[in-house]
Structure 1
Amino acid sequence: MNKVSKELKTGVLLVNLGTPDSPSVPDVRKYLREFLWDERVLDIPAVPRWLLVNAIIAPFRSPKSAKVYRELWTENGSPLKIYGLANERDLQTKLGDQYIVKLAMRYQNPSIQSKLDEFQTSGIKDLIVIPLFPHYASASTGSVYQKVMEIVSKWLVIPEIKIVNNFYDYPKFIAGFAANARKHMENFDYEHFLFSYHGIPERQITKGDCHNVCKFGTCCDNITEKNQHCYRAQCFETTRLLVKELGLKEGTYTTSFQSRLGKTPWIKPYSDDVIKEFGKKGIKSVLAFSPAFVSDCLETTIEVGDEYKELFEEYGGEKWDLVESLNDSENWVNLLEELVLENSHQK
């Protein structure tokens, strides 16, 4: 490698979903409009999508969502952004000056456009994009792919680009969640363990099923060549890996899916239905995981940590605890470093 090559830097773009700029109703409405206008998130034709987002969801859901965001917000802002900036800083320190690490959000700020503009003017030799989603889904990782390529495709000079597709089965990812779980398990003997993942519409799984193998059932019992890109199958595999790592007994754990929207079928089983069944079965203590998120956010802290706890207690449960996400832990930053190095030409 010559001297010039050594001086050229590799860009590393970390991309999370996004957060409103503030918990105010106007900022939350703006965020929801951008998020739901994405054709990969709300995969219906443009005209009904525009009407649904702008005439129904954004106007009526924004006040309620803003109230929830205010519960989540800290004096330093959104936890999702706080942890993301910490990841940017810590990963930059680990990688050194041959790399330029930047955080972006798929929706709102800091935007992917602004950070790619900075990379373009800084003269990077190649770019590694890491969507901060452990499992591949069209509405998350796929949307990041599309947005990055829409922007970069307009550049006259396009550097080599590598995009991390998923990391749900990486040992450091499993070890990170297991380590957080053990902190709870050392102090209490839980009856049951719930692995709750973010849901997506069934139609998105079906549309991406090129081999026609998805039956939304036992087809997710293992990862194969034909279902390797299936979001649901990847989630069930994450559960199996965590169960093995933690030594959980068969029959003491459940995989489910949360955050469904609308009346069309989403992937099952639904987390809230599962929790109600816990009450009917007399289960009194649960340790909940939310391994679809690397940073604690509204869907973990509020939905799983608070709302599901209230539901569990309503149906007779007594103890409900949430395993923290990877956030700014050493395990997580080490995994980010691993993902960069295995995709980098730097020596």
Structure 2
Amino acid sequence: MSQNKAKTGILLVNLGTPDSTATGDVRKYLREFLMDGRVIDFPFIPRWMLVNLIIAPFRAPKSAGEYRKLWTERGSPLLFHTQDLKEKLLPLIDHSKYQLEIAMRYQSPGIEEGLKALNKANVKEIVVLPLFPQYASATNGSVIDRVMELARTWQIIPNIRFISNFVDHPLFLEAWAELGKEMMADQEYDRFLFSYHGLPERQIRKGSVDGYCRLGDCCAHYTKKNQFCYRAQCFHTTRLIAEKLHLPQEKVVTCFQSRLGKDPWIKPYTEDLIREMAADGIKKVLVFSPAFVADCLETTVEVGEEYKEQFIEQGGERWDLVPSLNSRDTWVHCVKDLVTSEP
């Protein structure tokens, strides 16, 4: 293939999923996921002890049960929705110019497998899109780190371009607005809750520019200083989606879920807001999870089932989860624009 006909490689990367709901497969997944130094940012030896002697052995059986609630006849929703995204994207791209691959950061299909396919095709450039809207070291940063780790072993390294976040892409926002409108068409809600995956506060501080991040009101404005602050990006996402849906500001709240351990995580915590809303007499809540683009354990089970149960037990009446973008047409076109547009 001559240089002027060489293709651009596209690699879409999602988080990952166990190969099955068997406890052994879940334990294997947890070990790979949590041994990532960007996920648990401890030195190697204490991280290894924590993951292999405490978390993986004791958490795997419970997590396997949670995955069984999520699993369908097609397997893991996160995996098959990513596969569906690829299949719907393929007809929209010029195959003489692009080669498209998908990968999971953890487990299979792995990033190494996707990069090998692109390397074998002798692509002139690789565009890597981590499928996480808001940049965090533990997600987007980990994908970038792994791609560079693998590519540096190649004799010839093509241009590699990373799309670090897409919090304000118009089609990303439009896709969420469409879903919100569908949910709101026949129902009125007292509150609109935007729940994002949490991070330890120390990870936000590590990435702070000149000590700017105070984990407080500084996140109310999205600026060049906090453009990579995960918490600020989440609040920015909430504001932009709420504006498109014309939601009353006083009815919109942003919060963070899935905290682990005793160290402080970014606030407010979703569990705390559930209690506060119930105590304030809030009865009907519509929940968005814009940190995830595909249905997964954190959305379907944690937000959709566990938090709903907590809210109802405390006096709430209705807790509706907006589904993830999955392979929705507007989202597919968003991905196409992200990976084929010139930087």
Relative to the length of structure 1, the TM-score reads 0.97
Match runs of 1:295-334 below 5 Å:
295-334=294-333
- Report SS of the residue matched to 1:295: coil
- Report SS of the residue matched to 1:211: helix
Give the paired residue count. 342
Residue identity matched to 1:96 = D
Q: Is the 8 A contact 2:183 2:322 kept in 1?
A: yes
Residue identity matched to 1:93 = P
Partner of 1:113: 112
| CA shift in 2, pair 1:20/1:343, >3 Å | farther
Partner of 2:70: 72
- Report SS of the residue matched to 1:340: helix
Q: Is the 8 A contact 1:162 1:343 kept in 2?
A: no
Residue identity matched to 1:45 = P
CA positional deviation for 1:250: 2.1
C-alpha distance after superposition, 1:172-217 (max 9, x if no partner): 1111011001111111011111000000000000001122111111
Partner of 1:86: 84
Deviates more, 1:130-139 or 1:215-224: 215-224
Q: How far apart in 2 are the matches of 1:122 and 1:184?
A: 43
Partner of 1:16: 14
Residue identity matched to 2:239 = R
Q: Is the 8 A contact 1:294 1:327 kept in 2?
A: yes
CA positional deviation for 1:96: 2.4
Structure 1 stretches (4+) deviating beyond 4 angstroms? Answer: none
CA positional deviation for 1:314: 1.0
Match runs of 1:118-133 below 5 Å:
118-133=117-132
Structure 1's unaligned 5+ residue stretches are none
Q: How far apart in 1 are the matches of 2:151 and 2:103?
A: 15
Partner of 1:48: 46
2:23 matched to 1:25? yes
- Report SS of the residue matched to 1:251: helix
Deviates more, 1:18-27 or 1:116-125: 116-125
Q: How far apart in 2 are the matches of 1:254 and 1:134?
A: 19
Identity of aligned residues (%): 54
Partner of 1:238: 237
Partner of 1:62: 60
CA positional deviation for 1:6: 4.8
Q: How far apart in 1 are the matches of 2:326 and 2:230?
A: 22
1:96 to 94, 101, 110: 94
2:256 matched to 1:264? no
Match runs of 1:83-232 below 5 Å:
83-97=81-95, 98-232=97-231
CA positional deviation for 1:89: 1.5
- Report SS of the residue matched to 2:89: helix
Q: Is the 8 A contact 2:209 2:226 kept in 1?
A: no
| CA shift in 2, pair 1:17/1:343, >3 Å | farther
Q: How far apart in 1 are the matches of 2:153 and 2:87?
A: 29
Residue identity matched to 1:234 = Q
Q: How far apart in 2 are the matches of 1:92 and 1:172?
A: 18
Partner of 1:248: 247
Deviates more, 1:60-69 or 1:118-127: 118-127
Partner of 1:283: 282
Q: Is the 8 A contact 1:128 1:343 kept in 2?
A: no
C-alpha distance after superposition, 1:99-148 (max 9, x if no partner): 11111000000000111111111111110000000000000000001000
Q: Is the 8 A contact 2:128 2:161 kept in 1?
A: yes
CA positional deviation for 1:313: 0.4
CA positional deviation for 1:5: 4.2
Q: How far apart in 2 are the matches of 1:287 and 1:195?
A: 9
CA positional deviation for 1:46: 0.7
Structure 2's unaligned 5+ residue stretches are none
1:39 to 26, 37, 40: 37
Q: How far apart in 2 are the matches of 1:49 and 1:4?
A: 48
Q: How far apart in 1 are the matches of 2:301 and 2:59?
A: 16
